Each structure stands twice: as structure tokens, then as C-alpha cells.
Amino acid sequence: MTGARQAVLEARRIVVKVGSSSLTTASGGLDADRVDALVDVLGAVHGGGEKEIVLVSSGAIAAGLAPLGLRRRPRDLARQQAAASVGQGLLVARYTASFARYGIRVGQILLTSDDTSRRAHHRNASRTLDKLLAMGALPIVNENDTVATDEIRFGDNDRLAALVAHLVRADLLVLLSDVDGLYDGNPSRPGASRIAEVRGPEDLVGVEIGSAGRSGVGTGGMVTKVEAARIAAAAGIPVVLTSAARAADALSGKETGTYFHPTGKRSSDRLLWLQHASTPQGSLILDDGAVHAVVERRKSLLPAGIAGVEGEFTAGDPVELRDVAGRAVARGLVNFDAREIPRLIGRSTRELARELGPAYEREVVHRDDLVILRP
């Protein structure tokens, strides 16, 4: 067994994400046999008492389609929310009954992107997950599709799973779908080969990554799964990407699917959210000197380096930092309202403090509240 797969065996806290296509029929509605098959695998892993499992499960909207007489996943948000409100109860009831066969209690956690951006919400979610795990329960996490709006949605449960893995300090993330790994081309075409390991972004150069899954009931595809794997790997969490049918092999360390090696170290939850889950409320345009200071020297953004401001935002909101060509180079939490920025542009903090008071002798975006988007 390779060292990489040995790390899978040694993982104690594991986040497993399963897609809608692995749990439901093509026309909508839960497939009880598929749910039970997944639970059989997770129940066996969890049952020994040495492993902790967090399940990030899609399927709420898909489960609600058939009961509401919908033939396919609706495009409008209101009907998606209606389907989710029906399907969420069915999904959790099915999981509850299935895990009960192994004497495992489950707890439901519904999250929106807003819950990871607001410090109090974020802290509460983290505490609840930790307490459920400490009490021997198995948390089932899903995006709260019944109330989430376009502005506060994660967009797909793959990305949510990567953020949850970071939130619970997971040792491993397993992404399950209807494809048994990442291929160097369309897996339905002759000659396509499965990529066994990804050690870094350079291994994906030239790889044709499909944009959609095979079913019509989910929102994700291979693109979202690879992006989720990148997020987790950059935070120091190894990832296995494979099919739900091979979940047992993946969790037992067998050479199945695609293994993504960790590429970075764990960062703060706030910075991970800032980079991957926040919605910028506006933009600050930086001159060339400020771009160099922020991106290359990892300095804070000072008023003197700002060339312009766009959008409406308040202090504490996430904003994009752009170069004069309009390219986003960083993202950060701003210390001033948008209406205050124009009178700060191009001026030194010392000058601003003399004219406007000591509250203005500070950074517009502090380096501790800033992530680089383009090295």
C-alpha cells in the first residue's frame, strides 16, 4: 500500500460527500437501496468507534421532485426551495431509519454560506458539529436550500463539503459521485485513463474536466469536485474522489478513484471562507505599486495605493482588490464604508489622521484579513 493510501487508513475524522445522482432515481425520488448501500459502508466504518464520520449529503431537492409531480429539477429558485422543503424531511427520515440498523444516531445540520461568513453562526455550527461527534452521533450536513437565496448559496455541496472538512478539522475528505475518479478525458470515450494521483495543479494541466454530471437531478459535475478537492488539499486535507459504488474500497485505502495529495497547510476558517465562500460587495482598484505590495510582499492595503472604488459596501464586508486592468488579485475585509473611500484615495495615513482623526490612521484592508487570488 502506498504512503498516500496509508494516510486514508490512518484518518480518524472523515467527511464524506455524496451527490444526488448516487441517492435518487433519474426521475426524482429517493432510491432506498442506494441509501442503504451507502449507509452499510459508513456504518461499518463508524461502528468500530475509532472513526468519526460527517456526511455531506445532496439529494433534498431531487427527493422532493416526484412527490410534487415535478419531472425534472426546476430552474427557478422558488420551486427548488419548495422541492427541498418536501425532500429534506424524506432524506433525513431515510438516513435515520437506515443508520438505526447499526445503532447510529444522526443529527441534521443545514447551512447557508451566510452561516460561514457570520462569526456567531460559524461558531455555533462548529460547536454543534463537534458536540455531535463527541456524543457519538453522525452529523448529516446539507445546504439549507429551503431558505438560501442566490446571494447566500454555496452553489454546490462539493464546495460545502470542502469547507465543512476544514471546519471540523477532518483528516480526510471523500467525494462520491457516479464516476469512479478523475480521467484525462471524457471517461465515456475510448482511450481515456483514470488519474490515480494528483500531487498539485501541474498534474491537471491539459486534463479535460467535464462540466456536468451524468444525471439531471444534481447541480455538480467533475469541475465542482476537482475545485472542492483543490480547496481541501490547499488546506492540508487529503481527498479521495471516486464513485459511491466504490466507497468501501476508498475508505479501506484501496487503490481506487483519484487521490489528491495535500498541497498546503491549514489556514484560518475566516480566510478559507473569504477565498472560497464569500461574495464580494464591491471592488477597490489598486495602482501598480499597491498590487506589488499586496501580492508580492504580502502587505496591507493602505489608502495611498487605491486608485478607485466600485460598489456599495460597509466596513467589514468582503471586497475584491483589482489591478488597473480590472483583474482580481486579492480579496479582503474592508475597514471603511464605500462612501468613505473616495476621500482616502491616494493619501497617506498620517495625513488622514491629522485631517480626519486617529481612526483614519489605519489600513483599508489589513493583511491578516486578506487572501491572494493571483500570485
Q: How confident is the model at residue 186 (pLDDT cuts 50, 70, 90)?
A: confident
pLDDT of 138 strictly over 70: yes
pLDDT of residue 296: 93
- Same structural domain, 139 and 201: yes
pLDDT for the residue 115: 61
Are 268 and 311 found together in one domain? no
Dist CA 152 CA 20 (whole Å)? 21
247 and 346, same domain (yes or no):
no
- Taking residues 308-325, report their average pLDDT: 94
Share of the chain above pLDDT 70, in %: 89
Whether 324 and 245 map to the same domain: the answer is: no
Q: Which residue has the higher pLDDT, 206 or 193?
A: 193
Instruction: Determine the pLDDT at residue 258.
Output: 95
Domain end: 228, 253, 272, which one?
272
155 in the same domain as 88? yes
pLDDT above 60 (res 38): yes
CATH of the domain at 297: 2.30.130.10
Q: What is the mean pLDDT of residues 294-302?
A: 95
**Between vectors from CA 40 to CA 39 and to CA 42, what angle results, nearest 5°?**
60
- Note whether 243 and 301 are same-domain residues: no
Do 319 and 170 share a structural domain? no
Instruction: Say yes or no: 144 and 24 in one domain.
Output: yes
Distance CA 309, CA 86 (A): 44
pLDDT at 153 over 70: no
Supply the pTM of this predicted model.
0.80
The binding site consists of 17, 58, 145, 157, 177-178, 219-225
Query: Residues 109-120: what's their mean pLDDT?
Result: 66
Which residues have a Cβ under 8 Å from the Cβ of 48 and sit 6 or more positions away? none
DSSP code at position 107: E
Res 219: pLDDT: 44
Tally of domains within the chain: 2
Average pLDDT estimate for 103-112:
90
Domain-ending residue, one of 272, 292, 320: 272
Q: What is the pLDDT of residues 245-267, one digit of tens each?
A: 999 999 999 999 999 999 988 77
More confident residue, 94 or 25: 94
223 and 89 within one domain: yes
Mean pLDDT of all residues in 137-156: 66
What is the mean pLDDT of the segment spanning 176-192?
86
Q: Do 157 and 249 fall within a single domain?
A: yes
- Regarding whether 169 and 70 lie in a shared domain, the answer is yes
Query: Higher-confidence residue: 13 or 67?
Result: 13
pLDDT of residue 256: 92
Q: Rounded to an integer, what distance in angstroms lies between the CA atom of residue 366 and that of residue 300?
A: 5
Mark which of 210, 241, 272 sits at the end of a domain.
Answer: 272
Q: Which residues are annotated as a binding site for substrate?
A: 58, 145, 157
Range of the domain at 98: 3-272
Average pLDDT of the chain to the nearest whole number: 86
The pLDDT value given to residue 114: 60
Q: 286 and 267, same structural domain? A: no
Asked whether residue 271 carries a pLDDT value surpassing 90, the answer given is no
- Distance of alpha carbon 322 from alpha carbon 330, whole angstroms: 7
In whole angstroms, what is the distance from residue 68 CA to residue 70 CA? 6
Binding-site annotation, residues for ATP: 17, 177-178, 219-225
* CATH number where 209 lies: 3.40.1160.10
